[in-house]
Structure 1
Amino acid sequence: MSLISVLSISYQAGTKRLFSDLSCHIDSGDRIGVVGHNGCGKSTLLNLLLDRHSVDDGRILRQRGLKVGVVEQFLPDEISSLSVLACVCDALPNEERATSQYVVEALLLRLGFDESLWQNTIDQLSGGQKNLILFARAIIKDPEVLLLDEPGNHMDSSAMHYLKGYLSSSDAPSFLMISHDRDLLDSVTTKTFWLRDERLYQFKLPYSEAKLALQKQDEDAQKQRIAEEREVTKLKKSAKRLAQWGKDYDNEDLARKAKTIERRAEKLEQDYTFVSAGSGLSLQVDAELLRSKQVLILENQDICNPIGDPLFHVEELVMRPGDRIALLGVNGAGKSSCIEHLMNVFRLPVGEQSCTRFNPNVRIGYFDQELEQFNQTIGIMDWCREQSQASEEDIKQTLIQWGFPYQDHNRAVNVLSGGERARLLLLTFQLDQPNVLIMDEPTNHIDLQGKEELEANLVEQSMTLLFTSHDQRFIETVATRFWWIRNGQLIETHNPEDYFASLDVMEHASSSKLEKHNEPLNVEKPALSDDEMLLERILELESLLEEDKQRKAKFQKPKLQQQWQQELDELNHRLDS
């Protein structure tokens, strides 16, 4: 029997869309864990279920007369001076308090509060005990369904034992629980709701098993999507070539066939398998737009290396709120020197800034590619205290959420891996909420999945960002503007392909110098019986050439490229003859 039904809801918080066409049910007997990265909308979903917010679209239906118990994250101030016994009794209707005190006492004993604690005030309790009191206030009302927001926060092993014991008991009500505690979720839940990508992934499994199922689902979707994209690319190339043949040879059959193939490619594109952007890094940075139209101005500025030699000149460039600027240039051109110059100017008082000027409201989050901030022997927690203005509790919780367990908080930062250091630095951005990011090679120490997740976060949250990277895909995905250090000048280019082409030329020239001999060609020509087989071989050779040339020079195969190109030239000649 369905207690609460969520039907195709959509909801947007400010400028951020959290849910789109989301549906789920809480049925009698359900024990549901809700998981997802920070900012995905878990607490918002809870508030929607409680009718504290209104959905933008869709409906939420509750069984008539349904009794709902709520366990909040934080203790209300007004009950902090009450005794333990009075605090739980206070949750009952006035007329039931006197007659139900024995029920409250039995519940307190069940949750680990013996009689010696009943008259202690709430503010004398530990954080974990306070959370158990919030839990007791919710279940004393005998609800039919419980909605819990991080009930295990601050709990020691003893408090967690009592929480697990109650939630796993046969008389516990149906519940939906938000938690970042894997052990709690695995111990008491039988279903998992995974919030991601503005949608809900549902599994009739506890958290750890659901995680494996989601990974498998993602892998299958990725494989399917790759196959679909390859098929679409192949069809589009075939259609384009057939259309050109139809035009060149005035052949209506070829032209019609090209149109048919185009329509098939369009239909496949519309039905692409959805692939998640992922959410591992969970970078949630304040993307507020500054009131000013300008974040940064570079005007008649010379940028020099550390010993004072000029590297390049900037005539005039302006960075605006919402810009994601890629700083392009070959190694040694001065990208890192430019970023170092910007950070030095930013540290100056506004009145002392001249040719380079920052908006006074700018708060910068700086990612140093050398990660020099970690060249010290202090522990992770102490390092975060130095780097962030956040509270002690916020730092602890965020460290745990970002994969730094409590027992590692005293681990020295100078022994962390590059990936751990990068993650820790990104974590401080979430804590301090800068409104401008300056990032020098942020993807150097991040694995492939983490890189894709960082891309998604930077793009989806409309960051204001200036960054350098050697990763072409990262640049093309993230950047909206491109500043190029070229021939002693920092200029804006609207076509980054010119920059990437210049790199290809340099890499090709470098690899050519290493080629001393050309092996004789021994290419077996495919049997070409008709136009379609000819087209297929041409497309295959073009694809081989394109894929190999996109690799770094040291991984390319120049000899094979030469063979493929010679065969391609021959086939094109046969096509034209």
Structure 2
Amino acid sequence: MGSISLRNVGVVAGETLFQNLNLVLSDGDRLGLVAGNGGGKTTLLRAIAGTAEPTHGEVVLSRGLTVGYVEQDVLSRLLSMRLWDAVADALPPEARRDEAWRVDVALDEFATPVAFRDRVLAELSGGWQRLALIARVWVTQPDALLLDEPTNHLDLARIFQLEEWLNQAARSIPVVIASHDRRFLDATTNRTLFLRPAESRFFSLPYSQARAALDEADAADAGRQEKELKEAKRLRRNAGELYNVGINSGSDLLLVKAKRLKARAAAIEEAQKALHKERSGDIRLSNRDTHARVLVTLDGLMVTTPAGEPLFRTGLVHVFKGDRIVVLGRNGTGKSQLMKLLVRAMAGEEIDGARVTPSVVPGYADQAMSQLPERETPEDFISRRFDVPDQRAKSLLAGAGFAIEKQGRPIGELSLGQRSRLGLLALRLAEPNFYLLDEPTNHVDIAGQERLEAEILDKQASCILVSHDRAFVDAVASRYFLIEKGRLNEVDGPEGFYRQMQAAGA
């Protein structure tokens, strides 16, 4: 039986990420690790894997336990290898000849097409590169598994496949998963750790149930603190009254009592700890008004590949003010190409089959945030693009979660989560009245996702969305369109498509 024990584990990296972590993970325990961007998830995974040391405490593995750690990024040296060779590279040199069969077994578990196994890793999609990283670790037959954002770049079929694999192949070993995908966490975990700088919270529950328990605990803490601070205020008021009476009457006894009451009030106030607030920057949207009822009309719009090969055609589609449309479809069916066509049409280009109301002011963000200039700093970008003074730009960036030192770095050096937040800030400042969002929650932490959902609903934003994030889709969509068999058709909901993807991933 394998186990991972955290004993008073804490990490300080300029500021405290987490402290006093004490828990034991045993066979069959699948822990979801939840925190905001930069909240210490990767740091804790590295400490468990033994590639980094905690500032305080220790990580203790049971005797002989081997840990497999799937990191987020592909090593550059692997990109020039064939997929098969990249997985085989993880085996000890002496085992690569006699136990090469294990590579094919690992790739078979992820239904890897034979033709893909001979392709160079750099030529494959981000999703297949992600599965290659998991296969590289699994081929070593680890006794425990650590996964850092495993659903990044995966389409829904592969996400469902990974869920099934974790619940079957990895069901009997300790597993730790750091992820912002709420549905994935619900499907694959039975324990949840919310990392916090002061006091992290652990629940023997999957994410959604744990989140409800966390919200209840936080509300209880807030209520308790409010009650105790009211008591401290009452004691100080009473102390002040006793002091005045004692001074006027010359009573030393009353002065002593007043002093004691003040000391009790001070002790109560000192015992109060700051209630946790997610450090993620605020995400807000704007929604410039338009009096038009129909914002976009598609009528026989042909969507093609960049090379001009047909992908699908729309029928007659009216997009009304306030519509929140989600476009569903398998990878490669043309969702992103549709978004790019709409961006061009909204910029004034004549696109056959697409009519845009003149009052539409578009806001567009793709999943790579490619609209951001990588060589500029966030401060320069916001100042120049939106003609705001430097101090105002700094204030806006701080509100979006950018520390001063991050504001002066080239955008290309920022994390993907930070770039996503910068892109969403730029969207707000553009003051659009129609949003085109292609995978907007990629790399955004759960607090940010929930804030974006709330903003879309509160601002009654008109939008067309592409997303693999099932929780996000369920929260915001009002209409659904599915690309299937060369057509774009409206459907009642996403459930049928999800079932198709689950079957495809099985």
Q: Could you say which TM-score interval applies, normalised by the shorter chain? A: 0.5 to 0.7
Q: Tell me what 2:205 maps to.
A: 205
Q: Deviations over 1:455-480 (max 9, x none)?
A: xxxxxxxxxxxxxxxxxxxxxxxxxx
CA pair 63-343 structure 1, distance change in 2 beyond 3 A:
closer
Indicate conservation of the 8 Å contact 2:278/2:447, yes or no. no
- Pick closer, same or farther for the CA change 1:279–1:208 going to 2, 3 Å: farther
In the other structure, the counterpart of 2:443 is 397
Contact 1:40–1:196, Cα closer than 8 Å, also in 2 = yes
Match of 1:57 in 2: 56
What is the 5 A alignment of 1:59-458?
59-169=58-168, 171-172=170-171, 173-272=173-272, 275-279=275-279, 281=281, 342=389, 373-375=430-432, 377=434, 379-380=436-437, 396-398=442-444, 402-403=448-449, 417-418=458-459
How far residue 255 of structure 1 moved from its aligned partner, in angstroms, is 1.9
CA 1:401/1:153 → structure 2, altered by over 3 Å: closer, same or farther? farther
What's the offset of the Cα at 1:265? 2.0
Contact 1:38-1:282 at 8 Å conserved across structures: no
Could you list the runs of 5+ residues in structure 1 that have no partner in the other structure? Answer: 284-338, 347-360, 382-392, 422-577
Q: Distance in 1 between matches of 2:261 and 2:86?
A: 71
Deviation at 1:130, TM superposition (A): 1.1
Contact 1:42 1:195 in 2 (8 A): yes
CA contact (8 A) 2:435 2:461 kept: no
Report what 1:9 is aligned to.
Answer: 9
Question: Per-residue deviation at 1:281?
Answer: 3.8
Distance 1:125 1:405, change over 3 A: farther
Corresponding residue for 1:30? Answer: 29
Aligned counterpart, 1:497: none
- TM-score (ref. length: structure 2): 0.58
Does the 8 Å contact 1:221/1:273 carry over to 2?
no
Shift of 1:419: 9.6
Q: Distance in 2 between matches of 1:376 and 1:153?
A: 29
**Hey, what's the Cα distance between the residues in 1 that align with 2:102 and 2:424?**
56
Displacement of 1:418: 4.8
TM-score normalised by length of structure 1: 0.52
Shift of 1:50: 2.5
Aligned residue-pair number: 334
Task: Please report the RMSD computed on the Cα atoms of aligned residues, expressed in angstroms.
Answer: 3.8
- Alpha-carbon spacing, 1:404–1:112, altered in 2? closer, same or farther (3 Å): farther
Quote how far apart the aligned CAs of 1:98 are: 2.3
Cα distance in 1 between the residues matched to 2:129 and 2:174: 22
How far, CA to CA, are the matches of 1:81 and 1:132 in structure 2? 16
Rounded to whole Å, the distance in 1 between the matches of 2:118 and 2:224 is 62
Report the Cα distance in structure 1 between the residues aligned to 2:391 and 2:190, rounded to whole angstroms.
Answer: 54
Cα displacement string for residues 395-421 of structure 1 (whole angstroms, at most 9, x for unaligned residues): 953498732899x9xxxx9x8855989
CA–CA distance in structure 2, aligned partners of residues 61 and 73 of structure 1: 24
- Counterpart amino acid of 1:28? D
- Contact 1:10 1:22 (C-alpha < 8 Å) held by counterparts: yes
Contact 2:4 2:24 survives alignment (8 Å): yes
Distance of 2:116 and 2:428 partners within structure 1: 49
SS where residue 10 of structure 1 aligns?
strand
The 10-residue stretch of structure 1 (267-276 or 176-185) with the greater mean CA deviation from structure 2: 267-276
Are 1:19 and 2:18 an aligned pair? yes
> 1:196 touches 1:279 (CA, 8 Å); kept in 2?
no
1:380 Cα deviation from its structure 2 partner:
4.3
| 1:137 Cα deviation from its structure 2 partner | 0.7
Query: Closer, same or farther in 2 for the Cα pair 1:342/1:98, shift >3 Å?
Result: closer
**What is the identity, as a one-letter code, of the residue corresponding to 1:48?**
A
**1:218-242 Cα shifts (integer Å, max 9, x gaps):** 1111110000000000001101210
| Secondary structure class of the residue paired with 1:222 | helix
Identity within the alignment, %? 28
Deviation of 1:279 after TM superposition, in Å, equals 4.2
Shift of 1:371: 6.1
Question: Whole-Å Cα distance in 2 between the matches of residues 38 and 50 of structure 1?
Answer: 20
Cα distance in 1, alignment partners of residues 111 and 447 from structure 2: 28
* 8 Å contact kept, 2:2–2:27: yes
CA contact (8 A) 2:36 2:446 kept: no
- CA distance in structure 2 between the partners assigned to 1:255 and 1:400 by the alignment: 53
Distance 1:103 1:282, change over 3 A: farther
Q: Alpha-carbon deviations, 1:183-237, whole Å to 9, x = none?
A: 1111110000111234421011111111111110111111100000000000011
Cα separation, partners in 2 of 1:405 and 1:367, compared to 1, 3 Å: closer
Structure 1 Cα separation of the partners of residues 136 and 218 of structure 2 = 40
Measured in 2, the distance between the counterparts of 1:345 and 1:223 equals: 36
- 1:31 to partner: Cα distance: 0.4
TM-aligned CA deviation for residue 263 of structure 1: 3.0
Greater C-alpha radius of gyration: 1
Q: In structure 2, give the amino acid aligned to 1:133.
A: A
Cα distance in 1 for partners of 2:194, 2:141 equals 28
What is the distance in 2 between the residues matched to 1:99 and 1:2? 27
CA positional deviation for 1:243:
1.5
Secondary structure of the equivalent of 2:187?
helix
Letter in 2 for 1:379: L
Secondary structure in 2 matching 1:161? helix
Matched residue of 1:254: which SS? Answer: helix
**CA distance in structure 2 between the aligned counterparts of 1:345 and 1:65, rounded to whole angstroms:** 56
Q: CA deviation at 1:247?
A: 1.3
Question: Per chain length, whose mean CA-contact separation is higher, i.e. which structure has more relative contact order (CA < 8 Å, sep 6+)?
Answer: 2
Per the TM alignment, residue 342 of structure 1 is displaced from its structure 2 partner at its CA by 4.1
Give distance in 2, aligned partners of 1:235 and 1:405: 39
